[in-house]
Amino acid sequence: METPGTTTTTRAVVRLCAMVALLIKGSTGLVCYTAVETLDLGCLLRWDCPHASPNTTYTVQTKTQGDPWQDVSWCIWISSQSCDVSQAFSNFELYNMIRLGVHLSPSSTVWIEPRKFDYSDFSHCSLPTPAFSPPSVSVSLKDDGLLVKVQFPCAANRRCSVERCCPISELIDPWTTVTVYNNLNHSDYQSRTVWTQEVMSYVDFSGLAPGLNYCAVANFSFPTFFMAASPKSEPQCVKTVSKSGQLTVLCIGFGLTSLLLVPLLTVFLCRPRQPAPTIENQPKTLV
């Protein structure tokens, strides 16, 4: 039977062994820095383990709120230091987590502290670069104004097919701002912001001066979730029809119409008429 002194000594030895074990574990120098990069709703996990050996391999796992941790099938026992997990997430309104596993041996894996991935990763505060690519615009004349069509960048997400472009507007509804300005006088401009609920956005502008060059640019954002705005698109320009040009078009149209109608009228007017029957030629009435 152990004496009280022996019991106290045994406990002290156990505590000392535990502290030594913790020190040995910390002395391995396993320090990894992880970062999440996002572009167009995609998600790229990068990491740097300065003290890991060149032959170290890694595994990445993801977890969506309510689900268990799952391996990213294309990032198991890899030697690279990045993993694109865009196809692993489909719902940004739930909590999504990512964690890195470092394989110290075939039977020993150390998991680094998980990182989240949600709407806040698209905000200005967490990103040194824009989280979205700029949209593209096309401009066409419409009556006395312009029609601007906005095309959004493709998204990287498992809800979209890899073989085709899936605009981000299929996954979330952006706020789209379109600005049309006079190319010679940028203070002469019109700007409209619309909530886009379709794959593409169409915005009409009217009241533009005739005979001038107007350019259109667009960008989009998600102010509801305090998300970053995209950069502006490349400008697309078009020249509105001048009054003299409109008169010329009317004259040309009138001339073409005349060329078609005059021959028809000439043929109709010059067509020989049948002579009216005279009295002599009429049959006599029987008495």
Beta bridge partners of 182: 214
Q: What pLDDT, on the 0 to 100 scale, is given for residue 269?
A: 61
Asked whether residue 56 carries a pLDDT value surpassing 50, the answer given is yes
Rg over CA atoms, the chain: 38
Q: What pLDDT, on the 0 to 100 scale, is given for residue 172?
A: 83
Cα separation, 50 vs 97, in Å, equals 23
Q: Residue 154: pLDDT band by 50, 70, 90 thresholds? A: very high
- If phi > 0 it is left, if psi is from -120 to 50 it is alpha, else beta; for residue 113 that is beta
**Average pLDDT, rounded, for the chain:** 78
Q: Of 44 and 246, which is predicted with more confidence?
A: 44
CATH superfamily of 31-117: Immunoglobulins (2.60.40.10)
Structure tokens at 7: 């019991």
Q: What pLDDT, on the 0 to 100 scale, is given for residue 6?
A: 44
Q: Are 40 and 132 a contacting pair, CB within 8 Å?
A: yes
Structure tokens at 273: 């008429």
What DSSP assignment string belongs to the chain? ---HHHHHHHHHHHHHHHHHHHHHHHTT----EEEEE-STT--EEEEE-TTS-TT-EEEEEEEETTS--EE-TTSSSB-SSEEE-GGG---TTS-EEEEEEEEEETTEEEEPPPEE-SGGGGSTTT-SS-SS---EEEEEEETTEEEEEEEPPBP--TTS-TTS--BGGGTS--EEEEEEEESS-TTSEEEEEEE--SSSEEEEE--PPTT-EEEEEEEEE-GGGTPPPPPPPPPEEEEPPPHHHHHHHHHHHHHHHHHHHHHHHHHHHHSPPPPPPPTTTSPPPP-
Tell me the pLDDT tens digit for each residue of 155-180.
877 777 667 788 989 888 899 999 99
Q: Of 171 and 32, which is predicted with more confidence?
A: 32
Q: What pLDDT, on the 0 to 100 scale, is given for residue 287?
A: 40
Instruction: Walk across the sheet containing 44-48 and list its strands.
Output: 33-37, 44-48, 82-84
Cα separation, 58 vs 71, in Å, equals 11
Q: Of 286 and 165, which is predicted with more confidence?
A: 165
Tell me the pLDDT tens digit for each residue of 138-150.
999 987 789 999 9
Q: What pLDDT, on the 0 to 100 scale, is given for residue 163?
A: 72
Q: Are 200 and 220 a contacting pair, CB within 8 Å?
A: no
pLDDT over 90 percentage in the chain: 44
Asked whether residue 240 carries a pLDDT value surpassing 60, the answer given is yes
**How close are the terminal C-alpha atoms of the chain, in Å?**
165
Task: Return the half-sphere exposure (C-beta side, CA atoms, 13 A cut-off) of residue 77.
Answer: 4
Q: What pLDDT, on the 0 to 100 scale, is given for residue 76?
A: 97
Which residues in the chain are classed under CATH 2.60.40.10?
31-117, 136-239
Tell me the pLDDT tens digit for each residue of 119-138.
777 654 445 577 889 999 99
Asked whether residue 215 carries a pLDDT value surpassing 60, the answer given is yes
Q: Residue 247: pLDDT band by 50, 70, 90 thresholds? A: very low
Q: What pLDDT, on the 0 to 100 scale, is given for residue 34?
A: 94
Q: What pLDDT, on the 0 to 100 scale, is given for residue 39?
A: 87
Q: What pLDDT, on the 0 to 100 scale, is given for residue 47?
A: 97
Give the fold, CATH level 3, of 136-239.
Answer: Immunoglobulin-like (2.60.40)
